[in-house]
Structure 1
Amino acid sequence: MAKTTKTLKLTFLNGKNKKTSVTLGDAVDNLTAEQVRGAMTTIAQANVFEKDGVKNYVTPQSASYIERTVSDIFNDGDADQAESADKQD
């Protein structure tokens, strides 16, 4: 069975003008550009993320939804979990 997940990837420039990003799982669907840009601006203005003396998430650059579909060919782990649940009943 195929399982599709959707994440929201926020891309910023850091203090050295290099791209850095954060990916959020289970993001709200159908956010507008204005909503996401506003949230990214708030993150940038908070100025609380830094690594090795370089500020991260300084300038918002882009935001994208990323959909990922996984289609199992087989998954013996699912059968083991089902058997384990049956034994607990």
Structure 2
Amino acid sequence: MVTRTKTLQLVFLNGKAKKVNLTVQNVADDLDSETVKTAMTTIAQADAFAKEGVDLYQVPQSASYVERVVTNLFDNSAAESKQSAAGGSIRANH
């Protein structure tokens, strides 16, 4: 089974001039650069996000769509959870 996801990664400089990322999921995949720049500027001007007294998203730097493809080879998690619920255990012999 193949799972594809697309996120928007926003990169800002924080109040100490260090890069910080903000990743947005479930985003429209047809945003243009001006729309994203405007949104990032709004986030920066809001001064709503700080950690330990440092503004997190102070200066917009860049934005990128990031696509991720996951191909599952197998998934026994359903069987393992049923076995755990029944009191069984899974052990590997070496």
| TM-score bin (small chain) | 0.7 to 0.9
TM-score (ref. length: structure 2): 0.79
TM-score (ref. length: structure 1): 0.84
Aligned length: 81
| Residues 1:30 and 1:61: Cα distance change in structure 2 (over 3 Å) | same
**Aligned residue in 2 for 1:35:** 35
| Residues 1:70 and 1:78: Cα distance change in structure 2 (over 3 Å) | farther
| Residues 1:34 and 1:79: Cα distance change in structure 2 (over 3 Å) | farther
**Aligned residue in 2 for 1:19:** 19
| Residues 1:78 and 1:70: Cα distance change in structure 2 (over 3 Å) | farther
Residue 77, structure 1, aligned to residue 88, structure 2: no
Where do 5+ consecutive residues of structure 2 fail to align? 81-94
Calculate the aligned-residue CA RMSD, in Å: 1.7
Q: For 1:8 and 1:40, locate their aligned partners in 2 and report how far apart those are by CA, in whole Å.
A: 12
Highest Rg: 1 or 2?
Answer: 2
Q: 1:21 aligns to what SS in structure 2? A: strand
- Extract structure 1 runs of 4+ deviating beyond 6 A: none
Identity of aligned residues (%): 52
Q: For 1:77 and 1:12, locate their aligned partners in 2 and report how far apart those are by CA, in whole Å.
A: 38
More helix by share: 1
Q: Deviations over 1:35-78 (max 9, x none)?
A: 00000000000011111111110000000111000001011236
Alpha-carbon offset, residue 21 of structure 1: 1.1
Amino acid at match of 1:10: L
| Residues 1:19 and 1:49: Cα distance change in structure 2 (over 3 Å) | same
